[in-house]
Structures are given as C-alpha cells and as structure tokens.
Structure 1
C-alpha cells in the first residue's frame, strides 16, 4: 500500500521540473547575482542620463531620476563659444582612431616577430614587456612633461601642446601589454601555414599580411577597442600634454565644467558625457562578435 502511495505522489510532480529549492541551489542564485550586478552597473548610466536631461543643472536637482526633461544642457553644450565641445569631440576621435590603428599595426608586427622568429633576447624582451606593465603611466607624468618640453625645443610638432606628441606617449604605453596579448593569440595559429607559404616562395611580409592577419582579426578588434576606450577616457596625461583648449580631448575639456566647487554645470557635463559615450558604444557594438573569441583565444599558452 505504501509503495502505491509513493508512486502516486511521484506521478503528481510534473516530469522534468525540479523543486524550487533544488533549482535555486543549482542555478537560481546565479540569476539573482546577475540581476544585482546588472542593476549596479545600469544605475550610474541612468543617473547620468537623468542629469543630462534635467534643466536645473545641479547635482542636488538631479537626485531623483527623470523628474524633469529638457534639452537645455545639450543646447548650452554646443552653444558655448569658450568651450568648443565639437572640437573636443573631433580631437578625441582623431587621437583615438590614429592611436588605436597604430597600436594594432605595431603590436601585431611585434607579436608576429616574437611568435614566429627566434632571435637573441627574445625571452628577455617578452619578460621586459610584461614587467613594464606593472608600472602605470601615472608614475611617468613628470618624465613625460620634461621629455616633451625638451623635444619641443627641437621638434615643435612633438612637444607640449601637440596632439602628435600625445599620440606618441599613448603608443609607448600601450604597445607592451597589447603586444603580449596578441603574442598569445598568434601562438594559436598553426606554424604549418607559415611553412607551407614559405615553401611556395612567400616572404615574411606576405605571410604576415596575407595569411596571419586575416586569421587573427578577433584579437586585432579587441586590442583596437580597448585602446580606443582607454584613450577616450584618459585624463591625467592628456591634461599635462594638451595645454591649448582647442587641442584638448573630451575628458580634459569636460572637466572644465565641474572644476570649481559648487558648480552648476553638472547637467552640461552629464550631457557631454552621454555624447562622448556614443562612439565607444558604436564601436563596441560593431566589434561585438570578435570580443569573446579574441579574449579567450589569447589566453592559450604557447
């Protein structure tokens, strides 16, 4: 009789559905963590967007989300003649694009050399690149200022106040970590492809551009994206190098709106931050399909 009762009770439980406690212990708690992490990440973005649309322009007036709506902050952002937001936007795009492209190209060539060629000092060079990344660029601000000041007396186009000088500084700081990241990805490409191409008479240049580069597109996209994001939000070095307001980037220019205490330009600052995020979001969405494969495959040890 008890056996028949147990079987009848078990038959009332829908097939394929576990009890709530068992489901929560196995996978349910992950959903709660994901929801909490999403809310934690989205709230600052909503707050900035609310402040950008709030016409009061102060942080105190933006304490409640989306209580008032208006485009006055965006209008004032582009109408201010003393603070050329449009020029800052173009400067950021130019510096970010040039630096990202140069970082990808130079880093790819260095990674190809470390991955495919055997020469004296190869291992020491890789360890040196890795060691240099332990020291942030912030520690070299004084040295960068003095170096560019000295170079400016000889080559004014590379001195203080020049965007080209800032690009060179960014390249020097980004090549190390990006080269090491691409080096791990290059090792995942079979060397048999190189050997077959060289048997057919291809040179290193032809192997690099026609065979290797198309195969490592994911890591190139990831490096370019990370470089562009870092340059768009970098403030300290850009504020030291770029002294002319017309040559400044968005990070440096927008800071002038809130540099003073009790500033009433927080709404304009938030509006500029929203517009500044558009190129980064656009590039991220365009390169999204390469991001996962580029980051995971680069972790293969070669």
Structure 2
C-alpha cells in the first residue's frame, strides 16, 4: 500500500477509454439549435421590427417637411424641423393650447380616477354592507359595455345640462372630465379591488387595535402598500384619455378647448397629403408626456405590493 506524503504529489491519471470513460458532449447542429431555441429569437426579432417600424415611420415623416403620406416611404431621407415650426406657427390651429388642455384634462381625470377608485375599492375590500355583492356584480357587468355606445346619450344629457349649468354642459372641459370619470371608475375600481384583497387584513386589525380609524388606516397603511396598482391605473387612465377622440370631439365644440386628438385630426381631415408631416410632428410631441410619465412611474410599478409592510 502506497502512502502519499507532502513530497509526493498526487498524480491524477486520465480515465481509460472504455466503459468508465466520460463521453464528450456533441455540438448541436444549426437545425437542432433552431428547433430548441433559435425560433424564439426569430419571433422576438420579427415582433420588435413590427412594433418599432410604425414609430420610426412617424418620426421620419415628422422630420421631413417636404414629405407626404405617399412619399414618406424612404425613412429619414431628409431631416429638418419645418413641420414643428408649422405646427406652432399656425394661429388657426393652436397646438400649444391643445397640448395644455390635454395635460389638464388628463392629469385631473387620472388623479380623480385613482383617488375615487381607491376609496371605492377599499370600501368593497374591507367593509361589509348591504348591496356589496350586487354592486360588485354591477361593476363587472358594466365593463362589458364600452363607453362609445353611450355617445348619443352623453350628447343629449350634456346638451340639456347646458341650459341649466353652462359651465358643466356641452363644450366645457369640466363636463368632459365628468364623462371620463363615469366611464373609468367601474373597471378601475374592480381592478383595484382585487389588488386590495392581496394586502393582509392583519395590518388593518393591528392598526384598529391601536385606535386608528378607517381614514387613518386607508391613508397611512393601505395606500403605501398599493402604490403599484395606483401607478398602473393612473398610467392607463392618462394614456387612454390623451388619445381619446370620439367623446372629446362630441363634447368639445370650441377649437380653443379641444384636446390634441381632436385638434390634430383637423390636419388630416381634408388635406391628407399636404399636412401629413405636420400631423406626424404633433403626434411625436403628444407621445412625449406619456413616455415621461411611464418612466417616472416605472419604479412604482415594479415594486412589490407589500414592500415594507413589516418594517419599523
């Protein structure tokens, strides 16, 4: 029996060829790689091109002052700022006012939707009252009917309100905000209700034992824990309102009170070829607030629903 000492290093012999040898891993052929993983890369690249191409096309048309809808097939054949100058130098079409109107209506409606929806979702999630199940079922059923079906009823209702309360009737931005709130509270309340149920009720019970009221529990405990769903609802509401056209075109009759979607449509309503570049420039600028809001709320969207719930 041989004994290894410090002066005798161990020699590791390679395994002999035979039944005890380690087989070498065979390299996959291109066909095998494509069947297992390669097709996923192909689908991802195709989907990316399909999604990015319209954005590049609109940006190229916005930077080409001589381009038309039919002549903008070559991307970035010319780059200048003529369309943006024409967009802001047209007195009959105040793009700046449209932009401000859209921001005011979008921000006010989004904040009101998030706040009122959170109040309703908290009531449905934490309180037990008569008609709770019927109300939840009604919200679920109302989601099946789009707000577009009620355009005629909305027009007649606001037209009748104009005779009594002009600042809330047809042609007023406040009236449009009320219409948007009525259509958005149902789906957003039900969405937040499901998220509120994921917050442990033991946190509420501990706060109630310490003497906290429902208002204190809602603002100091629940709202910080449900920040992700509030950010999602606010973002979706703002995106939907900034691009909404049908109801805004019916309610807002004054050109100075119109939103971006309604105002920009006037560029392509009659002369599509001549004003296509200006319309594209306006669309690019209209997308900037949405992108900025998404980047700002991204950190809240990615946070966990109960992050920090057991700290302190």
> Structure 1 residue 76: deviation in Å?
0.3
Distance in 2 between residues matched to 1:27 and 1:292, nearest whole Å: 28
Within 5 Å, give how 1:267-278 maps onto structure 2: 267-278=277-288
Distance in 1 between residues matched to 2:103 and 2:19, nearest whole Å: 70
Three-state SS of the structure 2 residue aligned to 1:61 is: coil
- Of the three residues 36, 39, 45, the one matched with 2:46 is 36
> Structure 1 residue 23: deviation in Å?
3.7
- Of the three residues 46, 55, 61, the one matched with 2:71 is 61
- Specify every segment of 5 or more residues in structure 1 that has no aligned partner in the other structure, as ranges: 296-302
Three-state SS of the structure 2 residue aligned to 1:87 is: helix
Rate the CA distance shift 1:138–1:8 in 2: closer, same or farther, 3 A.
same
Provide the residue aligned with 1:151 in structure 2: 161
Rate the CA distance shift 1:43–1:7 in 2: closer, same or farther, 3 A.
farther
CA offset digits 1:147-190 (Å, max 9, x no partner) = 00111111111101100000000000000000011001100000
Three-state SS of the structure 2 residue aligned to 1:60 is: coil
* 114-123 vs 226-235, greater mean Cα deviation: 114-123
CA contact (8 A) 1:57 1:73 kept: no
Three-state SS of the structure 1 residue aligned to 2:138 is: helix
Provide the residue aligned with 2:242 in structure 1: 232
Q: Name the TM-score, length of structure 2 as normaliser.
A: 0.88
> Structure 1 residue 133: deviation in Å?
1.0
Of structures 1 and 2, the larger Rg is shown by 2
Within 5 Å, give how 1:81-100 maps onto structure 2: 81-100=91-110
CA contact (8 A) 1:74 1:271 kept: yes
Distance in 2 between residues matched to 1:6 and 1:167, nearest whole Å: 79
Rate the CA distance shift 1:6–1:38 in 2: closer, same or farther, 3 A.
farther
The alignment status of 1:196 with 2:206, answered yes or no, reads: yes
- Of the three residues 132, 136, 156, the one matched with 1:126 is 136
Provide the residue aligned with 2:82 in structure 1: 72
CA offset digits 1:111-141 (Å, max 9, x no partner) = 0000000111111111110111111111100
Provide the residue aligned with 2:60 in structure 1: 50
- Specify every segment of 5 or more residues in structure 2 that has no aligned partner in the other structure, as ranges: 1-15, 306-312
Distance in 2 between residues matched to 1:255 and 1:294, nearest whole Å: 40
Three-state SS of the structure 1 residue aligned to 2:268 is: coil
RMSD: 2.1
Provide the residue aligned with 1:164 in structure 2: 174
* 217-226 vs 149-158, greater mean Cα deviation: 149-158
Rate the CA distance shift 1:58–1:118 in 2: closer, same or farther, 3 A.
same
List, as ranges, runs of 4+ consecutive aligned residues in structure 1 with deviation greater than 2 Å. Answer: 3-13, 17-28, 289-295
Provide the residue aligned with 2:188 in structure 1: 178
> Structure 1 residue 263: deviation in Å?
3.9
CA contact (8 A) 1:152 1:159 kept: yes
Three-state SS of the structure 1 residue aligned to 2:24 is: helix
CA offset digits 1:31-51 (Å, max 9, x no partner) = 211111111000000000010
Provide the residue aligned with 1:110 in structure 2: 120
Within 5 Å, give how 1:205-216 maps onto structure 2: 205-216=215-226
CA contact (8 A) 1:104 1:223 kept: yes
Rate the CA distance shift 1:196–1:126 in 2: closer, same or farther, 3 A.
same
Greater helix fraction, Structure 1 or Structure 2: 1
CA offset digits 1:264-294 (Å, max 9, x no partner) = 1000000000000000001111112333568
Rate the CA distance shift 1:91–1:133 in 2: closer, same or farther, 3 A.
same
Distance in 2 between residues matched to 1:127 and 1:72, nearest whole Å: 53
Rate the CA distance shift 1:196–1:269 in 2: closer, same or farther, 3 A.
same
